Structure formats: structure tokens, C-alpha cells
A = this chain, B = another copy of it.
Amino acid sequence: MARIVKVAAAQLGPIQLADDRASVVARMIALMDEAATQGADLIVYPELALTTFFPRWHHKDRAEADQWFEREMPGPETQPLFDRARGHGMAMSFGYAELTPEGRHYNTSILVDKEGAIVGKYRKIHLPGHEEFDTERAFQHLEKRYFEPGDLGFPVWRMLGGVFGMCICNDRRWPETYRVMGLQGVEMVVLGYNTPSVNSQMGEERMDSRLFHHRLSVQAGAYQNATWVVAVAKAGEEDGHHLMGGTMIVDPNGFIAAELPGEDDGVIVHACDLDATRFGKETIFDFARHRRIEHYGLITQRTGAEPPP
């Protein structure tokens, strides 16, 4: 019997500095209701879904940035989202800025089952950008200022009859991300992102190039690990800063199964057969037969590149 998971990729349009969480949650619920009419089992929202992409703003006093963080999940503003998902019997995943009781800051996503229980948590490992105000950049990207690198690795979870993993935004450009989950038999990776349409360090690199890099990384990760990947954007113009779209569902052969046009709130639903991962996992990417870990040592021994003398 085929293991079909109907996944909704729920893109969010821009969230302005002035928008409060209640208004964003209302938009997320509207997308969820739409996904429910299409029978979705799981809905996936973007990275930092509840607020504007605040790492573009420099707070000299870091503590000021705590306004963007959630101290509890669910909290009063997000509880309605959990309630509605449970009402629909829909699993969900979304990203948010997490402030722990110990005062630690992470760029986090969660996996919530159909009963509304948080069954998985992931904290973003590959933080792009920089820590201090950078006068060389066209705009700031201060993820390394506001977040610590994730401390939970790349776990996977059994849910909806399959094996699920998460990553966030820049993680999708790193083949290690998918491979660590692939080595745990992942069948669907869900990820959200906020990706500026322009490279802050190279103005001539425009959106078509950046969409190409996005698709290239996600499609390669899917193919090379024979897994579904659901990639969901926050898109459009946030207070004068443009984020690209490109929300898509990629099949275990690396092909785009469904793609959402535009940069507004919107949802695409696709019926993903988790058994479609088997052919790749049992043939060309049967890791047990083909990987040669004795030659991969540098990947875990060395962080930076060291050219030969």
C-alpha cells in the first residue's frame, strides 16, 4: 500500500515591522483552512514565520532584539494555530526565534503532530551572515549576532507513517544537512527560508541567480538522498527589503513536483508517496553498498579549507 502524505507548502508574503503576531497567525490559519479543503495531512510554513525577517535590522543592544523571540511555544499568540491544526487533524511545521529559559537564542523550527503535540525540534546549524554591523554590505544579515548555532544536530522523527527531518534556510545549501538525515533514512525534509533577492555582498547577483542556487541545492539534496523536500518561502517586500519566492515540493528524484508562483500568501498541496523514495535508496544511493567512509575523513576532521602548500 502506498504511503501517501498530502503536504501543504504554505508560503507567507511579506511581514512588516509593524505587523503583530496576531495578524500573522490569522494569515497562517487562513492558509491552513485552505490546505484543509485540499485534504492536507501536514502544513509547512517558512523560517521565522511569526515576524519580519528581523536579522536585517541592527540592534546595537542585542537585548532589544528579544522582542522578536518566543519564550514559550505555544504561547498565547500561537495557541490558536495549534488549536486549529488539531481541529483539522493536520500536522504542521513552522519556524520561529526561540529564547530559552536559560537565555539562549536559536533560529528554530518545530514538528507538530496531528494531535497538536510538538514531536520534533530543530535549531538552525548553518547561520549565514555576520555578527557586527558591516558597512561593506548593501544591507545587514545579522543571524550570527542574534542566534547561536543549533545544538540539536539533524535528527529525524517518525510521523504520519514516514521519517521526517527539518532544516532551515541556509542549511539547504550544505550537502551535509541532507546527508546526515539521509543516513537516518529520511523520507521528507521540510524547510522554510527567508532569502533576500539580492546578494548583500554582490549587487549584480540578482534574483534569477539566487532562485537557481535555491533550486539547485534543494533538488540535489533530494536526489542524492532519495527524499522528498518541501521548501517554503517567506517572500515579497518587507519594509523595502525584497525576499524571493520559489516555494516548491521536490520529489525523491530531484524533480520539482509542485511550485508556487508569486510572492504572496499562498499554498500548494501535493500528494507525496513516501515509497517513491525506495528506488533511489535501494539502487544508486544504496549507501551501504556504495559509500566509502574511509575516504571522507576530512569532512568531519576539518572545518575550514586548507589548500596544499
Query: Is A284 at the interface (CB under 8 A from chain B)?
Result: yes
Residues of B within 8 A of A301 (CB): 293
Q: CB-CB contacts of A289-301 with B at 8 A, as 1s and 0s?
A: 1111101111111
Q: Which of these binds chain B: A33-41, A56-64, A176-184?
A: A176-184
**A293-B301, A300-B299 in contact; A128/B306 too (CB < 8 A)?**
no
Stretch at the interface among A4-12, A71-79, A209-217: A209-217
Cα A290 to Cα B300 in complex, Å, equals 13
Q: What residues on B are CB-neighbors of A254 within 8 Å?
A: 212-213, 216
A198-219 with Cβ < 8 A to chain B: 201-202, 209, 212-213, 216-217, 219
CB nearest neighbor in B for A175: B175
- Partner of A176 from the list B158, B279, B291 (CB cut-off 8 Å) is B291
Q: In the bound complex, how far is the Cα of B220 from the Cα of A303, in angstroms?
A: 20
CB distance from A186 to the nearest CB of B (A): 8
Chain B CB within 10 Å, residue with most, of A176, A254, A289: A176
Collect the chain B residues with CB atoms within 8 Å of residue A291's CB: 126, 174, 176, 303-304
Residues from chain B with Cβ under 8 Å of A97 in the complex: none
Q: 13 new A-B pairs (CB below 8 Å) besides A125-B292, A174-B291, A175-B179? A: A156-B308, A157-B308, A175-B220, A180-B297, A180-B298, A182-B305, A183-B299, A183-B306, A201-B279, A201-B283, A202-B283, A220-B220, A287-B304
